[in-house]
Structure 1
Amino acid sequence: MKNTELKSFIAILVVLLTLFTVYQVIIHQLFYNQLKSDSITTWGEITARLVEQNPENEAEIMKVLTSHSIHSIQYQEKGKDILRQYGLHEDLESQLFPLLNNHIFRHSQFIYWGLVCFGCILLLVSYMQQKMFFNKIRQLTSAAKKIIDGDYSVAINENKEGDLAKLVVSFRSMKDIIRQSMQDLREERGFLVQILQDISHQLKTPLSTISIYNEMMLNESLPRQQQVQLLQNNDAQISRMNVLIQNLLKVAKIDARAISFEKEPANLVETIEDSLDRLDRMITDHRISIDWDTSKEVVVIHDKLWMQEAILNLLKNAIEHSKPGGKILIKIENTPIFTELVIQDFGEGIDAEELPHIFERFYKAIGSKKHDSVGIGLALAKSIIEAHQALIKVESERGAYTKFTVTFIKF
């Protein structure tokens, strides 16, 4: 039995019943001893009077008193007849036997008061236990009201085992779950507000540009060549907004844990090569040489499509910030503990004070030559990599290099 409240109540009840039983045994023993003493006193007086009047019958009288007389039945009947003549018989009320009546009255009083006392003790113990139990219930009720009002500092402790302790533990677990849920809800609300602000801020400029170009195109005297140029500018702005919105939605889904990554052992080399293939035209246009020499297979647990997205953004950043005709180094180091991927360009570099901010959404380095960048690619790459329980760090020196290192832990 694990219910300590019930066990303690049963234990107290057993103790009280035991004490009451002992009390009853003592009372009955006292009653019998008193009855025996009074009987000896009464029969002693009768015996003394009979022996005094008939000394020769002393032995016979003692035989009658000790039930050793051979004529006891005969004399018992004669004695009953004599007593009946004086009004004493079995049907007579006990109140007419003063000595016996006093014994029965005192004995009944002891039993009655014993019952009253033990009944009061039992009621008091039951009241105290129920009061303690309902005090705990009231504490839980009060704590629940405080939690509803947003106060999660309430604490209810229960050091004993039992169902009440289990209820308290479950209540504490529920409180922690509600607190965490409310915290997550506040974070999600703040995250949503931030995303909406980011989208609004980033779309404001291209939308304003498109609006101005449209007003210019409404001018009928505008040459056809300029109209085409404005349409092309609008198309570029629309494409920029489309990329921005798609990347923002990807970052938002990852941060909100709304994406289930299909992680499985896959060749990281193939993932990198697929990313390079998608950037082939961009690499050619910038005349970038790729220093990429590694083994044919390095198995890492990852979601191939999403990791391509992350590596693509790192490579794209390296290409955009490299000088025309520059070089990008890609290197993989595979050990029993970790796999390390390095992507390094030798372009404009980043100032030391700007390094802590480059993974922030919409952050652009002050000296960056890429003016049309929206600053979302590196934030997306970091979110994807960290969702794989991997690490990413950056090292850079202005005018020399920028190196991204991605570390996949194998345990």
Structure 2
Amino acid sequence: MGFRRAKIIGFILSIIIVSVGLISWNYFEMRTALEYDRTTALGRLSENEALSEAQLIEAFNQEGNKTYYAKGSELEAKYGMDTRETKYDYLVQPFLVRNTLILLVTILLVLLLFFWNLREQKLLMEELESLENKYHTEKSQYSILLQRTRQEDSQIKSSITDIAHQLKTPVASLKLSMDIALSEAYSPAERQEFSDQAVLQINKLNLMLDGLAKISQMETDLIQINPQKYSLRKLVSEAINSVIIKALERDIDIELSSIDESTIFVDYKWTLEALSNVLENAIKYSPVHTKIQVNSQSLVTYVVLEILDEGPGIPKQEQTLIYQRFYRGENSNEVEGSGVGLYLTRKIIEEQGGTILVKNRVDQGANFQLTLPLV
């Protein structure tokens, strides 16, 4: 700002200096012309023999008075010189006109420079204000991002510690079950019972390791979304087929209420993973002998897919927290899981321009709503 101000002042000073120089040059030109005219008149009058040269010089150098002025006025009136421009007027006027033009041009340039500077300052202030607003906005965003990153790092450390602690129990139980299943000291029925228990512990370990693998994929940006045209009904059917065994084990029906014959623009593999995660959660939290409903509604640019269960629902204060990594709600104590599924689902859906939200049903249960882009 200081450099710009000094530059403007420099321009104004330059204009003033040039103008003063031009006025001075014009003044000296006028004096030279007047001197030349006076000397020429003196030479011309010197040819009059009635006057001596000394008298002429004395007449030219003598100061004027009222008497000479009155006589001069009488002569002007007598010969008509007061009604026309004299030679003196023709000689002086061009210099006066030039000086006036120089002053006008100088004033005009200074005013233009002044108003241009005001405009530039206004634009600069607007730009500075815009940059300041952008800075504060980005600073706020970075602050939120940093806070979220620290929170997530804390959750990761806590969850990894929790998973490591949880691994000890199934590993110890698996070791004991395998020892008994392979031991000759127990009856075949007892050995079979512990063999089945070992399979359950292996499945539990597999679930935990699968959660850790998905965490690794998210942290290293291995999830690449490649959307293509795909049938909504077909994708929902395949998602149901991927969890149907778990539903049958709990005697839970999955009912396709109304699914549009829509074509969506999504990544098949990861969207199938997202839908399967939501359906699997609905199965885990639903009581036995209940029903899960799946329906959809097509709008202008996207389709809304609803998955409704008859479980305990989700407390209102947790409805935005369940999409965080490793978050386990108050209803999750008796349900196996790593707290990764819904976070992964949200990331997949949002990467494709969609949304996911949950609200509780009026009677009982949760209603997950996913939006997916239409072709």
* TM-score, reference length from structure 2: 0.60
Task: Name the structure 1 match of 2:150.
Answer: 190
Task: Name the structure 1 match of 2:32.
Answer: 31
Q: How does 1:332-371 map to 2 (within 5 A)?
A: 332-336=296-300, 338-368=302-332, 370-371=334-335
Which whole-Å deviations, capped at 9, do the CAs of 1:179-198 have from their partners, x for residues lacking one? Answer: 58965984685366236414
Q: Quickly say closer, same or farther: Cα 1:182–1:235, change in 2 above 3 A.
A: same
SS of the aligned residue for 1:235 comes to helix
Task: Name the structure 2 match of 1:99.
Answer: none
Deviates more, 1:345-354 or 1:297-306: 345-354
1:265 matched to 2:265: no
1:200 matched to 2:201: no
Letter in 1 for 2:160: S
Deviation at 1:374, TM superposition (A): 2.4
Deviation at 1:43, TM superposition (A): 7.1
Q: Quickly say closer, same or farther: Cα 1:317–1:300, change in 2 above 3 A.
A: same
Deviation at 1:24, TM superposition (A): 1.1
Would you say the 8 A contact 1:320–1:370 is kept in 2? no
Letter in 2 for 1:190: R
Task: Name the structure 1 match of 2:337.
Answer: 373
Deviation at 1:282, TM superposition (A): 1.7
Q: Quickly say closer, same or farther: Cα 1:369–1:170, change in 2 above 3 A.
A: closer
| Percent of aligned pairs sharing the same letter | 17
1:326 matched to 2:273: no
SS of the aligned residue for 2:215 comes to helix
Structure of greater relative contact order (alpha carbons < 8 Å, 6+ residues apart): 2
Deviates more, 1:374-383 or 1:327-336: 374-383
1:288 matched to 2:285: no
Mapped partners of 1:229, 1:339: distance in 2: 43
Segments of structure 1 that go 5 or more residues without pairing to the other structure are 54-124, 134-156
Q: How does 1:301-320 map to 2 (within 5 A)?
A: 301-320=265-284
Task: Name the structure 2 match of 1:389.
Answer: 353
CA root-mean-square deviation: 4.9
Letter in 1 for 2:283: I
SS of the aligned residue for 1:209 comes to helix
Equivalent of 2:238, from 269, 274, 278?
A: 274
Mapped partners of 1:371, 1:52: distance in 2: 136
Q: Quickly say closer, same or farther: Cα 1:40–1:236, change in 2 above 3 A.
A: same
Q: Quickly say closer, same or farther: Cα 1:238–1:373, change in 2 above 3 A.
A: closer
Would you say the 8 A contact 2:273–2:345 is kept in 1? yes
Letter in 2 for 1:28: E
Task: Name the structure 2 match of 1:247.
Answer: 214
Mapped partners of 2:194, 2:258: distance in 1: 50
Mapped partners of 1:219, 1:295: distance in 2: 50
Would you say the 8 A contact 2:232–2:260 is kept in 1? no
Letter in 2 for 1:159: Q
Count of aligned pairs between the two proteins = 300
Task: Name the structure 2 match of 1:88.
Answer: none
Task: Name the structure 1 match of 2:202.
Answer: 235
Which whole-Å deviations, capped at 9, do the CAs of 1:39-58 have from their partners, x for residues lacking one? Answer: 645775x657x5469xxxxx
Deviation at 1:239, TM superposition (A): 1.2
Letter in 2 for 1:400: Q
Mapped partners of 1:288, 1:308: distance in 2: 20
Deviation at 1:294, TM superposition (A): 3.6
Q: How does 1:34-53 map to 2 (within 5 A)?
A: 34-38=35-39, 40-41=41-42, 51=50
Q: Quickly say closer, same or farther: Cα 1:231–1:216, change in 2 above 3 A.
A: same
Deviation at 1:355, TM superposition (A): 3.8
SS of the aligned residue for 1:203 comes to helix
Q: How does 1:50-129 map to 2 (within 5 A)?
A: 51=50
Would you say the 8 A contact 2:230–2:268 is kept in 1? yes
Would you say the 8 A contact 1:250–1:380 is kept in 2? no
Deviation at 1:213, TM superposition (A): 5.4
Deviation at 1:200, TM superposition (A): 2.1
SS of the aligned residue for 2:330 comes to coil
